[in-house]
Amino acid sequence: MALVTDLVVAGIDDMKGAVEWAMAEVIQNPPVMQKAQEEIQEAIGTERLLRPSDVPGLPYMHAILKEVLRLHPTGPLGVPHFNPKEAVLAGYKIPKESTVLINIWAIGRDPKHWLDPEDFRPERFQGTEIKVVGQEAQLEMIPFSAGRRMCPGHPVAVRFIPFAVASLIHAFDWSLPPDQNSVDLMEKGGTIASKLASELTAVASPRLSCKSLYE
C-alpha cells in the first residue's frame, strides 16, 4: 500500500508541476498562447469544451509539451541508478555499486543540440521527429529517462499535460496581475521534482460562453 501511495502521489505531483510550468511559460509568452488558442479554435471552435479526443489533432500543443519538458523536466536528475558491477560508459570507468544520476536538465539545454536553449520556442519541434521518449538513436531530450528504467508514467503524462493546458487556454485568456511585469521562472531546489520557486499568480478572463462551460 505504501508503494502504491508513493507512485500515485508522485505521479499527481509531477504532472501538476509540469502543468504549472507550462502555464507559466505560456503566460510569459503571449504569442505562444495566441497561436495555441487559434489552433484550438480552428479545430473545435468556442461553442464547447475541449475533449481528450481532440488533443491528438493539436500539433502545436504537443510542441508546447515538448518544449516545457525540455526546459523543465519534472525530474531534473531523474531517479538514482545503481550498478552492481563495474561498467565503462563513453570511455569513463564507473566503479561497481555506484549511485548514478543523469543530468536530464542539462541535456535539454545543451547548446550543442539546441539553438538558443534558454528560450521558450515550441516552434523548434514543429516538423521534427524528436520525441519525449528517449530512444537509442534520439537522446537530445529524455525527460522521462530512457531504456528499461524509464518512467512508467510517461504515457499518462503525454496525454494529461497537453489536455490540461489546452483546456485552460481554450476556456480562458490569461494575463499577469496589474502589479506584475513578468513571471518568476526561478526553480525551487531541495526536491527531486522541478517546481516553481514562487506560486504562479495569473488573471483569467473567460473566452467561452457560460453555456459552453457548464455543458
Q: How many residues does the chain have?
A: 215
Q: What is the pLDDT of residue 47?
A: 85
Q: What local confidence, expressed as pLDDT, does residue 93 receive?
A: 93
206 close to 172: Cβ distance less than 8 angstroms: yes
Let me know: does 158 contact 132? Beta carbons within 8 Å: yes
CA 164/CA 166 separation, integer angstroms: 6
pTM over 0.75: yes
Report the interhelical angle of 154-171 vs 30-44 (nearest 10°).
90
Q: Where are the alpha helices (DSSP H) in 53-103?
A: 59-71
Average pLDDT estimate for 20-43:
95
Residue 25: its pLDDT value, please? 96
Cβ proximity of 43 and 58 under 8 Å: yes
Q: What is the CATH number of domain 19-75+105-214?
A: 1.10.630.10
Sign for the CA dihedral angle at 127, 71, 19, 41 comes to negative
> Residues 147-160: what's their mean pLDDT?
79
Note the pLDDT of residue 11.
60
- What is the number of other CB atoms lying within 10 angstroms of the CB of residue 181? 7
Task: Indicate the domain borders of the chain.
Answer: 19-75+105-214
Computed over every residue of the chain, the mean pLDDT equals: 85
* 62-107 pLDDT tens trace: 999 999 999 998 888 877 888 889 999 889 999 999 988 889 899 9
Average pLDDT over residues 152-171: 89
